[in-house]
Amino acid sequence: MNNFRFSKLFTYLILALGCVITLLPFVWMLSTSLKSLNEVFIMPPEIIPKNPKFSNYKEVATQIPIVTYFINTLIITFIVTIGTLITTILASFGFSKIDFWGRDIIFSIMIGTMMVPGELMLIPNYITIVKLGWINTFKGLTVPWIISVFSVFLLRQFFLTIPNSLYYAAKLDGCSDFKYLWTIMVPISKPALLTIALLKIVNSWNEFLWPLIVTNIPTMRTLPVGIMNFTSEAGGNYHLLMAATTIVIVPILIIYFVLQKYVISGITKSGIKG
């Protein structure tokens, strides 16, 4: 019994330590965002500023068009998330419930593309966007990312857990594939779909490299790209940089805390059958 209590206590201590290590960067970011530039370099560092400067957030809004960046990021995230859900649902249904020639081979090839580093696709994607004339447009920022192989894999695994008897019964009643998909399978798959949506929201909201490459005017910049204004070769306004970073992160944290229970449920249920 004592060994069990000791093991449980040790587990809690490890989890608490991991929690502290994980939260420390966020605490430091918030603390720095409320300091002056001189206070940032004080040694030993102060976790809680003596005179919090909430005016840093106001200064961020005056130095960069934060509202424009926020709206651009919101639009891109919305389009990419909705587009990904639509393509993922259709592809996953085809790979899980419709029997056609070469289905498993095509799916295996798709899964194989997950082994290709995303950086290798930047140049081909950029050349395509240039040829289409989509530089500095929302089409160029969103269209290349509305298909996700990982999302298709995740949802397909979830679809495979739904008994085929439901599909055959619906077909006997005269239900079309499209109607069966949207009236039966999609409602059943809400945990997996919410997981996919949350992962895509986080990735799209935090995306830095692609918006930096395909935009060169301030009116099309996003939040992650916009905060570069507070850094330079000579150094940076770290207090303002952290204030801007806090503005970027807070919406994602709120969304995650609201949907976090669906993430665990969706991923767990999606791995039952392969």
Q: What is the pLDDT of residue 2?
A: 62
Closest-CA residue to 76 (of 223, 270, 183): 223
273 to each of 147, 156, 160, 248, 258, how far by Cα in Å? Answer: 23, 10, 6, 37, 28
Residue written as token pair 């997996």 = 192
Element (H, E) at 235: strand 235-236
Closest-CA residue to 155 (of 192, 191, 180): 192
Q: What is the pLDDT of residue 232?
A: 62
Q: What is the pLDDT of residue 274?
A: 43
- pLDDT (tens digit, 0 to 9) for every residue of the chain, 274 residues total? 566 677 778 888 888 888 888 888 888 888 888 887 777 777 777 777 878 888 888 888 888 888 899 999 999 999 999 999 999 999 998 888 888 888 889 888 888 888 888 788 888 889 999 999 999 999 999 998 998 899 999 888 888 888 888 888 887 888 888 888 888 888 888 888 888 888 899 889 988 889 999 988 888 989 888 888 777 654 567 788 888 888 888 888 888 777 776 666 655 555 444 4
Tokens of 78: 């919305």
CB-based contacts of 180, cutoff 8 Å, min separation 6 = 167, 170, 171
Q: Taking the domains of the chain in order of start, what are their residue ranges?
A: 1-53, 55-270
- pTM exceeds 0.85: no
Q: How far is C-alpha 143 from the geometric centre of its chain's CA atoms? A: 16
Q: What is the pLDDT of residue 186?
A: 87
Q: Give the separation between CA 195 and CA 136, rounded to whole angstroms.
A: 30
Tokens of 52: 């919090």
Q: What is the pLDDT of residue 71?
A: 92
Q: What is the pLDDT of residue 273?
A: 45
Q: What is the pLDDT of residue 202?
A: 87
55-270 has CATH 3.40.50.300 classification: no
Residues 162-206 pLDDT 10s: 888 888 888 788 888 888 888 888 888 888 888 888 889 988 998
